[in-house]
Amino acid sequence: MKVLFLTRVHPPIIGGMENQSYNMIKNFKEINNETFVIANTRGKKFLPIFMPYSFLKALFLIKTHRITHLHLSDGLISPEGILLKKLTGVKTIATIHGLDITHKPRIYQKIIPASIRKLDGVICVSNYTKNECIKRNMLQKNAR
């Protein structure tokens, strides 16, 4: 299985999502030598540049390396994941942390949950996050 990890939060930036992203990728690479990574290591200020760059690089990597699976580090980048899925057919999942689905602004709540619903799957970091996803119809009630 060829997997591409796409993460907007990654060390050397410090934080819980960054640590989770780093460790997930590190451990996955140990069991799969066909793992590719696109990571923002420059923080939030770099996002306006990283987002279009990561989309183009992901599209290139998926096509040239015949990547079959895309893992998004959080729900905020799910619109990018959906577009990549539509263009390439790659199976796409995201890790959901909490604030990436509970953030209050109305425009955010229209775009992000709708995008997450179109993914092939989600990984919730806690039962609380799972329940918030269920409330927003992103998961079935019997999800684990």
Q: So where are the chain's domains?
A: 3-135
Can you list the alpha helix ranges (DSSP code H) found in 66-98? 78-88
Q: Which CATH superfamily is domain 3-135 in?
A: Glycogen Phosphorylase B; (3.40.50.2000)
For residue 87, the tally of other CB atoms under 10 A from its CB is: 13
Gap between the Cα atoms of 139 and 46, Å rounded: 31
For residue 16, the tally of other CB atoms under 10 A from its CB is: 10
Gap between the Cα atoms of 58 and 38, Å rounded: 7
Q: Is the pLDDT score of 142 beyond 60?
A: no
Gap between the Cα atoms of 7 and 5, Å rounded: 6
Kindly report, residue by residue over 68-119, the tens digit of the pLDDT: 999 999 999 999 999 999 999 999 999 998 877 778 888 888 899 899 999 9
Q: Is the pLDDT score of 65 beyond 70?
A: yes
Q: Is the pLDDT score of 141 beyond 80?
A: no
Kindly report, residue by residue over 12-52, the tens digit of the pLDDT: 888 888 888 898 899 999 999 999 999 999 988 999 999 99
Gap between the Cα atoms of 132 and 16, Å rounded: 19
What mean pLDDT value characterizes the chain?
Answer: 90
Per the document, the length of the chain is 144
